[in-house]
Amino acid sequence: MSPRPVAWKTRRDMDDELQEIYDELVRRNPGQEEFHQAVREVFDSLHPVIDHHPEFLRDGLIQRLLEPERQLMFRVPWADDDGEVHVNRGFRVEFNSALGPYKGGLRFHPSVDLGIMKFLAFEQTLKNALTGMPLGGAKGGSDFDPRGRSEAEVMRFCQSYMTELYRHLGEHTDVPAGDIGVGTRELGFLFGQYKRITNRYESGVLTGKGVGWGGAHVRSEATGYGAVFFLAEMLAVDQQSLDGRVCLVSGSGNVALHAIDKLQQLGARVVACSDSDGVAHDPDGIDIELLRRIKQVERGRVADYVDERDSATLEPAGSIWQLECDVAMPCATQNELDDDDATALVDHGCTAVVEGANMPTTAKGIDVLQKAGVAFAPGKAANCGGVATSALEMQQNASRDSWSFTHTEARLAEIMARVHQECRETAQECGANDDYVVGANVAGFQRVAAAMHAMGLI
Ligand code: NDP
């Protein structure tokens, strides 16, 4: 494609142009508020990139980057243990493959709809780019609610879901992993069905597999551990450490459990965790082994933890950010920390917020935290250790190799240090010192945009 001359643009022109693109996005994707929110946050960071690369405003590059390459929606019929038939909706949004095969988790939760899938797939695209690994971006899932379902029901649902999805997957095409409601058990059922239908033992088609059947050490731990490594890097900038820090971690699923574990390994005291029914407040520090048993073995609730732990009390759902802390890590779901929560955190002396979940802090919440000087790490940067370790799992599958826990954890720590450094340096280049939101958005965006630009009109 022959390059067209670059029109000279003022900042005002660029503001107007980005605003027009955003307005068009809202118009063409009605009701998808989380998707609008995720795009707005990125646009608010983009001026410095457009200043240096006016070509990104040509050839519709930004508009192309905002439109998923492919959006799949399909019927998932299954029968419960009483023989009653249910019909759920399955999704896979293959957002961008400029840097590698589509990559991103599957979420099973009743709140799942196309807008949530698109926000997650868009975030995933920039996050995966930020890792520096050869990964495109995607997200998938279903509005299926695994809560209260028997193991046999979950298996039948996973088999039905994969019976449609398998035709779109492949180790060089699209590689899902877990997310909310999808852990090693569900990935086992999904992988088993893929293997049956295709008659191929294609390990690299899914990540987050069990260690005994193609999974990588540290993949389960990676998102939570990685977020804590990122936090440790942030503190180290001011010659501080996690030792003795009081922390709040929302959620009690995969990301939260491993964040709590690593925080405590590094000397912090985590005094609360949660689920959608309540908050376990434990001033003595969460007993991670007890919590792990209740959540992972018994599939229980934080209320069960409080029942078994004398030092803990059960507080109302959503009240976790009202507690005192030095560090807060939202690790449950999107928009779980709003401006009122942020104000409470600031008033109670919180100095750092690190997102383990995807977009858990509202735009107003981020604004309150940043204006108060709280160090803030967006999920795009802080939780990218999960997908980065998925890329390590794909490497091991491709070479039919298996690395030790210690080696893989060291690789994860290196990756998080590199991502932290890149976010800082990019923010500085943009004149936005210490703003990890700008650093993460710009660094991720530049990598995807440059690849798309090089590949012509894709
Ligand atoms: P899990 O399903 O293992 O755990 C989710 C936790 O969050 C549960 O404690 C759940 O409580 C709580 N939760 C979920 N939805 C809500 C809600 N609407 N209101 C209140 N609490 C809620 O999921 P993960 O730990 O894997 O994922 C957590 C977050 O981290 C998500 O944002 C996910 O996208 C993100 N993430 C996950 C990665 C991974 O590797 N797993 C990678 C990168 C990001 P309850 O049981 O009551 O629903």
Q: 38-50 pLDDT, tens per residue?
A: 999 999 998 878 8
- Per-residue pLDDT averaged across 32-60, rounded? 89
pLDDT confidence bin for 5, thresholds 50/70/90: very low
How far lies 321's CA from each of 102, 219, 232, 268, 350, in Å?
A: 35, 28, 21, 17, 10
Between the CA of 157 and the centroid of ligand 1 the distance, in Å, is: 20
| Selection from 316, 373, 325 nearest residue 345 by Cα | 325
pLDDT confidence bin for 10, thresholds 50/70/90: low
- CA atoms within a 13 Å half-sphere pointing along the CA-CB vector of 142: 25
Query: Domain locations in the chain?
Result: 1-67+438-458, 70-213, 222-382
Are 2 and 398 a contacting pair, CB within 8 Å?
Answer: no
**Ligand 1 in contact with 116 (CB < 6 A)?**
no
Name which residue sits closest to atom 7 of ligand 1, judged by CA: 332
307 alpha carbon, distance to own chain's centre = 31
- Which numbered atom of ligand 1 lies nearest the CA of 219? 40
Residue 16 pLDDT:
84
- Per-residue pLDDT averaged across 223-230, rounded? 98
Between the CA of 182 and the centroid of ligand 1 the distance, in Å, is: 9
Domain 222-382 sits in CATH at 3.40.50.720
- Per-residue pLDDT averaged across 27-34, rounded? 98
Range with lowest mean pLDDT among 2-6, 128-132, 368-372:
2-6
Say yes or no to pLDDT of 11 above 60: no
Residue 74 pLDDT:
98
**Ligand 1 in contact with 100 (CB < 6 A)?**
no
Residue 355 pLDDT:
98
Give per-residue pLDDT as tens, 62-116.
Answer: 999 999 999 999 999 999 999 999 999 999 999 999 999 999 999 999 999 999 9
Q: Can you list the alpha helix ranges (DSSP code H) found in 274-353? A: 288-292, 302-308, 339-347
Residue 277 pLDDT:
98
- Residue whose entry in the numeric block shows the structure tokens 């250790």: 385
Catalytic residues: 139
Residue 7 pLDDT:
42
- Residue whose entry in the numeric block shows the structure tokens 């991720």: 444
Residue 49 pLDDT:
82
Between the CA of 162 and the centroid of ligand 1 the distance, in Å, is: 22
Give per-residue pLDDT as tens, 397-424.
Answer: 999 999 999 999 999 999 999 999 999 9
For 445, list phi and psi in degrees, rounded to 5: -60, -45
Between CA 361 and CA 367 the distance in angstroms is: 10
pLDDT confidence bin for 51, thresholds 50/70/90: confident
**pTM value > 0.75:** yes
Residue 48 pLDDT:
79
Category of 103 on φ-ψ map: left (φ > 0), alpha (ψ -120 to 50) or beta? beta
| Selection from 249, 221, 245 nearest residue 329 by Cα | 249
Give per-residue pLDDT as tens, 236-290.
Answer: 999 999 999 999 999 999 999 999 999 999 999 999 999 999 999 999 999 999 9
- CA atoms within a 13 Å half-sphere pointing along the CA-CB vector of 62: 23
**Ligand 1 in contact with 181 (CB < 6 A)?**
yes
Residue 159 pLDDT:
98
List of E strands, 126-215: 137-142, 174-177
Q: What percent of the chain has pLDDT over 90?
A: 92
Residue 350 pLDDT:
98
- Per-residue pLDDT averaged across 441-446, rounded? 96
- Per-residue pLDDT averaged across 160-185, rounded? 98
Say yes or no to pLDDT of 13 above 70: no
- In 10 A of CB 347, how many CB atoms? 11
- Which numbered atom of ligand 1 lies nearest the CA of 109? 15
**Ligand 1 in contact with 351 (CB < 6 A)?**
no
Q: For all residues of the chain together, what is the average pLDDT? A: 95
- Which numbered atom of ligand 1 lies nearest the CA of 107? 34
Residue 12 pLDDT:
58
Between the CA of 220 and the centroid of ligand 1 the distance, in Å, is: 13
Between CA 44 and CA 47 the distance in angstroms is: 7
Two structure tokens written together for 168: 């779109």
Q: What percent of the chain has pLDDT over 70?
A: 97
Superfamily holding 70-213: Leucine Dehydrogenase, chain A, domain 1 (3.40.50.10860)
Are 358 and 419 a contacting pair, CB within 8 Å?
Answer: no
Give per-residue pLDDT as tens, 314-329.
Answer: 999 999 999 999 999 9
